[in-house]
Amino acid sequence: MSSHPTGQFPAYRPRRLRQSPALRQLVSETHLHASQLVLPLFVRSGRKIRHPIGAMPGVFQLSLDEMVLEASRAHSSGVPAVLLFGIPDAKDARARGAFAASGIVQQAVRRLKQELPQLLVITDVCLCEYMSHGHCGIVQRDPRGAKILNDPSLKILARTAASHAEAGADIVAPSDMMDGRVRAIRAELDRSGFADTPIMSYAAKFASAFYGPFREAAESAPKFGDRRSYQMDAANANEAMREVALDIQEGADIVMVKPALAYLDIIQRVKTEFGYPTAAYAVSGEYSMVKAAAANGWIDERAVTLESLLAMRRAGADILITYAATDVAQWLAGK
Ligand code: PBG
């Protein structure tokens, strides 16, 4: 590793290499590039709708026409990919809107592939936005409480992923955290002729308070209980390695750690232990905190955003999912 003979050679002066921007750039170990960015988008029905999310300034629920504009702005700034979340018109206890051929995400994918064929379209595969109760799986209620049923949920998730691939999704991204869902999705994709569609699994997804603003954006807050019986406990790093190992065994092509900034240790371990393409999701709460502090004039939005993303890259993330993707791409281009 980086052992420097400072003992025998006391003249090492680190500041020598910090004297000018060009010198600093020359020895920079980590680089941010627009090609690493993914922009999440929230899509809904209607026309000319840009419904603002209170806690996420600059983020909107978009009708398909507005989604195309937003995606096109991102793409022309250098962002190669979007991640789609759907807000359906109706929810039920079977998440029918999640896998309907005419579902909101399926429509959005077709539209994007038609209008921006070069843009990579990644779809979030989950049920919470489509379930009347807001949980990520099928719920069984009894007098003592509610249980999220694992295996019965797998079929719906697999069907949902296949319907996204059928619509033209380039990558499917399961975020539900049911056990065995990557295997179930891989099998269903292979069976339905999509053996070449990659899976980016939310492999180490923690039960996090940082998701608060997203649940307003996606209208997916659970109506009762919480997600702690399926998402991970923030205390656990070894368990995160087991989750990632399992998803890789089951066929994940890209693994994700989420949230990002408070979980840099997990990102680093995942990258060094598995060497797989690794994504970091800078979630809604991370974005909101920066926006709120910046709006008060307390921090420099651009500098803090770039420094945070650089930290994720330094930890080992190859792919950065961020609501600030378009701004970041423009900043990196010097705009
Ligand atoms: C759906 C899902 C969530 C996020 C991504 N996919 C919310 C949750 O698990 O409650 C969070 C994204 C964010 O906070 O930006 N399961």
CATH code of the domain occupying 32-332: 3.20.20.70
Question: How many beta carbons lie within 10 A of that of residue 253, not counting itself?
Answer: 16
Count CB neighbours of 103 within 10 A: 22
324: left (phi over 0), alpha (psi -120 to 50) or beta: alpha
Whether residue 213 contacts residue 270, with contact meaning beta carbons closer than 8 Å, is answered with no
**What residue owns the CA closest to ligand 1's atom 2?**
175
The answer to pTM > 0.75 is yes
Report the alpha-carbon distance of residue 163 to residue 161 in Å, rounded: 5
Cβ 330 under 6 angstroms from ligand 1: no
- Assess whether the C-beta atom of 206 lies below 6 angstroms from ligand 1: no
| Ligand 1 center from residue 262 Cα (angstroms) | 15
Q: Supply the pLDDT for residue 284.
A: 98
Give the pLDDT score at 3.
59
Q: Is 223 a catalytic residue?
A: no
Mutate to test the pocket of ligand 1, among 38, 61, 125, 126 (most ligand atoms within 8 A of CB): 126
How many A from CA of 323 to the centre of ligand 1? 13
pLDDT per residue as tens, the chain (335 positions) = 555 555 666 789 999 999 999 999 999 999 999 999 999 999 999 999 999 999 999 999 999 999 999 999 999 999 999 999 999 999 999 999 999 999 999 999 999 999 999 999 999 999 999 999 999 999 998 877 889 999 999 999 999 999 999 999 999 999 999 999 999 999 999 999 999 999 999 999 999 999 999 988 888 899 888 999 999 999 999 999 999 999 999 999 999 999 999 999 999 999 999 999 999 999 999 999 999 999 999 999 999 999 999 999 999 999 999 999 999 999 999 98
Q: 253: which DSSP letter?
A: S
Closest to 92 (Cα-Cα) out of 128, 135, 126, 130 = 130
**Within 10 A of 78 (CB to CB), how many other CB atoms are there?**
17
Residue type (1 letter), 127: L
Q: What is the Å distance from ligand 1's center to 215 Cα?
A: 7
Residue appearing with tokens 């699994």? 201
**The amino acid at 119:** L
Return the residue whose CA atom lies nearest to atom 11 of ligand 1: 211
Longest dimension (CA), the chain: 73
Asked if 176 and 126 touch (Cβ cutoff 8 Å), the reply is yes
